[in-house]
Each structure stands twice: as C-alpha cells, then as structure tokens.
Amino acid sequence: MAGMLYLVPTPIGNLGDISERCRRTLEEADFIAAEDTRVSLKLLNHLGIKKSLVSYYEHNKAFKGEKIVERILAGETCALVSDAGSPAISDPGEDLVKLCHEAGIVVCAIPGPCAVITALSISGQATGRFCFEGFLSTAKKSRREHLESLEKEQRTMIFYEAPHKLVNTLEDLAEHFGEERPISLCRELTKLHEEVVRTTLGEAIEKYTENPPKGEFVLVVAGAPAEEKTSATAEDAAARVAQLMEAGLSRKDAIKQTAKELDLPKNVVYDAALSL
C-alpha cells in the first residue's frame, strides 16, 4: 500500500509555533524531505527528533521529486518541510504536491505558520479580499507585465521580498501604483524584532533608502480605490477621436486610444466615431 505525503509547516521565527500535530508527524514519518537539510536539522535537534533527511530544493526538484514519489508508492510516508513556513507556498513543495497527486498519492496539509497569512492579519490593511503575488520576477519583462496586470487590482496585494531587493521593488510598485498608495511592511514576523511599518510607497522608499533594510519582509499593499464611473459621453468620444485623427492616428487606433482614455467600451466609441 502506498504511503502519504504530509506538508508540515515549521516556525517562521518563533520555535514555539511548532504544533503538537507537526511534531508528531515529523516523528512518525519514514523520512523527511527538506529544502535545506542543515536548516531542518537544527529544528529536528531542537525537537529531539532523529530522522532520515533527504534534500528537495529548487535545483534538484525534478530528479528528487521522482525519487520521493517512488519511495511513497513503495509504502513510505514522507513529511515535507521548507526552510520556514508552509511548504508549497513560494517554494518547490508546489511541484512535489503536483507530482504526488498525479501519482495518486494522498497529500495531507497540516495548517500552521505561513508568512503571507501572518503578515495580512497584522497589516491593518483590508483583509476581506486579498491576492498573494509571491516574489516578483527578476526578469524585467515579466516583472513589468506582472505589475501592469495589477494596476487596477482592488484587492489587498501581498508580496514576498528579500531585504537587498526591497528598495528596488518599492520603486517599481510606486511606478505602477503611485507614491501615495498605502503599504504595510511586515518585518521579522514572530521574531524578537517584529515590526509593522504602515506608510505609503513614497515614504517607504525614503525610509529604506536612508536606512538599508535588514531581516525578512512581507509587503502588504492596499488595493486600488474603486473606479469612479466614467462621465464621458458619446460626444466627448467623437470629439476625442476627431482630435486624435487630426493628429495623425488611423481611425482604428484613435478609437482604441479614446476607449482607453475615457474608459468607454470600444463599440460605444466606434458608434460615436461614425457620426464624424
């Protein structure tokens, strides 16, 4: 009979946050798959657990994932841990879960510490509707496309970021969302120097440019304010299309641009343009 995969969350700073169920699962598993075995060994030593560890991280996940699945199919139970927090959230655990489902293996997620939820709850931003955006890509094009896709996002947005990239990321966020947009910078959660800085993107850039940031951060950014309904009329649209065509744009491009500028459906602008 096949074994199982357990997703075991581990503390994001405070060792007291390991739950009884997580401890028991780590003790009872046949083996533990860990992102960084040195980091997890420290936790296991703290818990007094001796267990066989295998490494499973970004650069060996394709090969190691298959091996782990084979062992589970042969009847062993695996507990997956990441360096900190909930496995499979912005870490390679995501792929192992997918592989296990594909192989018909039962996956059990134990609830526990997770940086995104801890940050959201402490942020003081709206929590009713939110979206988790993980780490922004370092590749310019996909980073820009990702941020462009969020320009009208009204839900609270949550990002992970490393301290040495923080200022650059704040600058990119300000470019797309404006310097006045509220943000909560949640730093060193559950640790001795836990701190929540509630400010705006513009002020955060100033603060962290003057004092280079240290520690781990989650950025909780307020969503865009609800859009006011456009008050533009068909006459406004026709006038703008005419103006743009005089300036040299084709009718098609003038309609497209007017629809965007006045936030009107393209067919409304098209009909208005016919009256020209």
The residues of the shown chain that bind ligand SAM, judged by CB under 6 A, are: 12-13, 82, 84-86, 89-91, 114-116, 160-162, 186-191, 216-218
Residue number with the shortest CB distance to ligand SAM?
85
Nearer to ligand SAM, 31 or 57 (CB): 57
Residue 64 CB, shortest distance to ligand SAM, in Å, is 17
HEC per residue, the chain: CCCEEEECCECCCCHHHCCHHHHHHHHHCCEEEECCHHHHHHHHHHHCCCCCEEECCCCCHHHHHHHHHHHHHCCCCEEEECCCECCCCCCCHHHHHHHHHHCCCEEEECCCCCHHHHHHHHHCCCCCCEEEEEECCCCHHHHHHHHHHCCCCCCEEEEEECHHHHHHHHHHHHHHHCCCCEEEEEECCCCCCCEEEEEEHHHHHHHHHHCCCCCCEEEEECCCCCCCCCCCCHHHHHHHHHHHHHCCCCHHHHHHHHHHHHCCCHHHHHHHHHCC
Nearer to ligand SAM, 161 or 255 (CB): 161
Residue 12 CB, shortest distance to ligand SAM, in Å, is 4
Residue 128 CB, shortest distance to ligand SAM, in Å, is 21
Nearer to ligand SAM, 8 or 241 (CB): 8
Residue 65 CB, shortest distance to ligand SAM, in Å, is 17
Nearer to ligand SAM, 153 or 216 (CB): 216
